[in-house]
């Protein structure tokens, strides 16, 4: 059959666009938690070739526990830590203040935000410490977590379920959690057995990443972001306990298979809060959910945005954002940092409503229009298209880096 020339042109264009669409990578994410794995002891394991899997990733220092003396301060224990990682928010938003199975996350989770943006895509949470899935029970009930598995402290169960899901399922966002380093740490502290626990979990991570390699070979259109991180450090010198605000307990790490931006790779050497030897200049656990959502293509809704962290990939938003109610005055002072000013806009939102538009030559703003407001106020600053938020409860002095 002879087709008119216009038809051939249309057909060719159609095929070209189809080919272009099929060549576009499908972004997916694998987030792996290694409970209680202390940063310094991991470094020792890497030096002794006991953790080659994590060593193959890009490893960076980070912090947990919020900021001491502010509304973001939280115990350096698993419940608050994992909830911050899976929401991008500190305890003043998520309200999981302890390792209490009855507590429920109150902040929009990573799973929820992803499913609201892409209802047909699949999520999974496969955990060794069952309490994590208890904290996110409402997400499971409401269908934001499609597959929820509790392995009851058996890490090989996590390996089997995650590997099976990667090789036979259709996951788009998968969270896996291992518990053995924390269990051994509580029982024996910093001993050769603790280093062996790091080695064992690293080998289990290797099994999962091999399953991921097989998946990527079978699905070359997929591009996976992999992040490995703990929930907290450990108390010196023995390493048996954690929960306090000490440098060792607050220090964590982020290991990623992608190259991070300045928020991850270029810590601020003179942070607004210099405590804990400048630890607050590094990335934090609150940065994980924004990173994963950015990778997965979830567009932030500025009228509802509430995450305290910054994406660790792509453009960098304002850094070191602080929000502080001035004493005895009906004002909130915002301050932040940017790179070398170029005149780019910085937009400020209060509870989802725009209140100011500045440029990156300016690094502070005073909100004088709060006299009639009560309770918590959520401020969001947008720079380079990247939002970051802070919560201020009026009549309290609040500051976070």
The pLDDT score that the predictor gives to residue 373 is: 83
Average pLDDT over the chain, rounded to an integer? 92
Per-residue model confidence as pLDDT tens digits over 202-232: 999 999 999 999 999 999 999 999 999 999 9
Question: What mean pLDDT is predicted for residues 15-30?
Answer: 64
- Write the DSSP string, 75-86: -SSHHHHHHHHT
Tell me the pLDDT band of 286, cut-offs 50, 70 and 90.
very high
CB neighbour class for 269 (10 Å; exposed up to 12, middle 13-18, buried from 19): exposed
- Higher local confidence (pLDDT), 321 or 18: 321
- pLDDT classification of 48: cutoffs 50, 70, 90: very high
The whole model's pTM is what?
A: 0.92
Which residues make Cβ contacts (< 8 Å) with residue 80, sequence separation at least 6? 65, 74, 91, 94, 96, 97, 98
CB 205 within 8 A of CB 228: yes
Read off the pLDDT of each residue in 166-189 and give the average, rounded to a whole number. 98
pLDDT at res. 86: 98
Give kind and range of the element (H or E) at residue 279.
Answer: none
Q: Are strands 345-350 and 353-359 parallel, antiparallel or unpaired?
A: antiparallel
At residue 8, the pLDDT reads 38
What's the pLDDT at 159?
98
Is residue 238 predicted with pLDDT exceeding 90?
A: yes
The residue among 66, 105, 41, 4 whose CA lies nearest residue 401 is 66
pLDDT band at residue 372 using 50, 70 and 90 as cut-offs = confident
Bond prior to 237 in cis (omega within 30° of 0): yes
Residue 371: its pLDDT value, please?
78
- Position 17 confidence tier, pLDDT thresholds 50, 70, 90: very low
Q: What pLDDT does 332 receive?
A: 93
């Amino acid at each position: 059959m002879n087709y008119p020339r216009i038809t051939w042109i249309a057909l060719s264009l159609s095929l070209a666009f189809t080919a272009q669409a099929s060549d576009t990578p499908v972004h997916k994410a694998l987030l792996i938690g290694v409970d209680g794995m202390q940063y310094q002891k991991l470094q020792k394991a890497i030096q002794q070739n006991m953790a080659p899997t994590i060593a193959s990733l890009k490893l960076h220092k980070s912090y947990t526990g919020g900021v001491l003396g502010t509304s973001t301060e939280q115990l350096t224990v698993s419940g608050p830590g994992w909830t911050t990682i899976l929401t991008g928010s500190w305890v003043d938003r998520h309200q999981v203040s302890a390792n209490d199975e009855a507590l429920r996350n109150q902040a929009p989770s990573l799973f929820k935000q992803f499913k609201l943006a892409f209802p047909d895509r699949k999520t999974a949470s496969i955990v060794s410490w069952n309490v994590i899935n208890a904290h996110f029970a409402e997400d499971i009930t409401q269908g934001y977590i499609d597959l929820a598995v509790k392995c009851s402290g058996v890490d090989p169960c996590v390996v089997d379920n995650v590997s099976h899901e990667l090789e036979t399922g259709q996951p788009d966002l998968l969270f896996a959690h291992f518990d053995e380093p924390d269990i051994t740490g509580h029982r024996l502290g910093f001993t050769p057995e603790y280093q062996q626990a790091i080695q064992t979990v690293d080998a289990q991570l290797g099994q999962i990443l091999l399953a991921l390699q097989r998946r990527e070979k079978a699905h070359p259109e997929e591009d996976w972001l992999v992040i490995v991180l703990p929930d907290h450090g450990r108390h010196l010198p023995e390493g048996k306990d954690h929960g306090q605000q000490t440098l060792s307990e607050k220090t964590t790490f982020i290991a990623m298979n992608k190259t991070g931006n300045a928020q991850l790779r270029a810590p601020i050497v003179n942070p607004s809060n210099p405590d804990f030897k400048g630890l607050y200049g590094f990335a934090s656990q609150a940065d994980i959910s924004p990173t994963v959502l950015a990778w997965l293509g979830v567009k932030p809704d500025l009228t509802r945005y509430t995450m305290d962290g910054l994406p660790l990939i792509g453009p960098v938003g304002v850094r070191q954002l602080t929000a502080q109610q001035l004493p005895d005055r009906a004002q909130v002072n915002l301050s932040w940092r940017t790179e070398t000013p170029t005149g780019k806009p910085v937009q400020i939102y209060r509870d989802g409503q725009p209140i100011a538009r500045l440029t990156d030559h300016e690094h502070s703003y005073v909100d004088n229009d709060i006299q009639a407001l009560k309770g918590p106020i959520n401020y969001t600053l947008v720079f380079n298209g990247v939002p970051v938020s802070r919560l201020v409860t009026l009549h309290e002095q609040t500051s976070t880096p």
